Amino acid sequence: MKTGRIIRSLSGYYDIQISSGEVQRTRARGEFRKSGQKPLVGDFVDFESENDEGLIWKIHPRENVLVRPPIANIDVAVIVTALKEPDFAPNLLDRQLVALAAARVTPLIYFTKSDLLTESEYIHATEVLNRYLKIGYTTILPSINNTNNNFFELRSELRGKVAVFMGQTGAGKSTLLNHLSPELGLETGVVSKALSRGKHTTRQVTLIQVDDALIADTPGFSSYEVFDFPVEQLADYFPEFVAVRQNCRFRGCLHLNEPGCAVKESLTLGAIAQSRYNSYKAFYDLIKSQKPRYKTDNRNI
């Protein structure tokens, strides 16, 4: 019996990389299908292999999992965020941060298109950077004239980790990935072309070795479209709220209209950014208006 990580799934086959770096192709046992379990890219599994044909016997417990793209055991999600063209959207960034927190995935914010900013716009961008740094997020803002140092910083942050990249259309995700590794860009193009035959084609995920990191090559990222948790948990995913909410007058304070709310007091004092509180209120209303969703995926195998 061998143990390895699934780095690719395609048409019922799973390519598993073992500690030596060797990749072996397998299928999943029928028992997984009967129990509603499904191996995912990123899973650690026990398998047997002979004559280049193997069988997965066990899926190890997952640290975390994303539904779209379907991938498990992610160390970091790089949120590629444009400062211009399209203009910076704090609501979208906060939405991605909340979705990742709910999935127990560590985020890294990478701002792009700083070279398009005027000096005054860049000063404002540094204020935005400091806002998220203060909360505790790892954040990278390239300088106007030289982005190379920031690529080195990003490579350092990714070293030895499994990473996914996410970002709205036009944010510069593909450009950033291609700069990290031209091979990754080529792979993305090949995979995307192969999977674009039909409108409803299932999107595949592949983990590709880039320096000392494994980066998920995935055509899209939409796990932040719907918040799949009770509205009472929303504040759990705003670290600056968590830091002060024990001082709220009422237990279970929702930080909206309750008297003696420590979060609202911190907002008044400027310790919590108005844009972050605006995002919280918008997400609260969104979750309250959502229809119930019934989970069919197996998150805790």
State the binding site for Zn(2+): 248, 253, 255, 261
Binding site membership: which residues? 112-115, 167-175, 248, 253, 255, 261
Q: In 147-196, which residue ranges form alpha helices assigned H by DSSP?
A: 148-158, 173-180, 182-194
Binding site membership for GTP: which residues? 112-115, 167-175
Q: Which amino acid is at 190?
A: V
Q: How far is CA 232 from CA 200, 252, 288, 292, in A?
A: 34, 8, 10, 15
Question: Is-contact 219 191, C-beta < 8 A?
Answer: yes
Give the separation between CA 155 and CA 268, rounded to whole angstroms.
38
193 burial level (CB within 10 Å; 0-12, 13-18, 19+): exposed
206 burial level (CB within 10 Å; 0-12, 13-18, 19+): buried
Give the separation between CA 47 and CA 58, rounded to whole angstroms.
7
Give the separation between CA 225 and CA 242, rounded to whole angstroms.
23
